[in-house]
Amino acid sequence: MVKRWSNLRYAGVDQYGQTIDRTVDGFHARVVQHECDHLAGILYPMRITDFSRFGYIDVLFPELAAGDDE
């Protein structure tokens, strides 16, 4: 439910100091973007624009639970 690039390129070094330079797509690209969000202090729910498709609405927003509007 979060918009992500479908492919991307990333570069850096691994734990041994070896250069990494990859072009990835699909699930790998989504995972890289998700993990980069963590490095920037961004959590998945912060990127969601439509919480009705997220799930756990009754836990996150109990005041919006069905039947509470009476």
Question: Which residues form the catalytic set?
Answer: 35
Task: Say if residue 51 is exposed, middle or buried (CB neighbours under 10 Å; 0-12, 13-18, 19+).
Answer: middle
Residue 46, SS3 per DSSP = helix
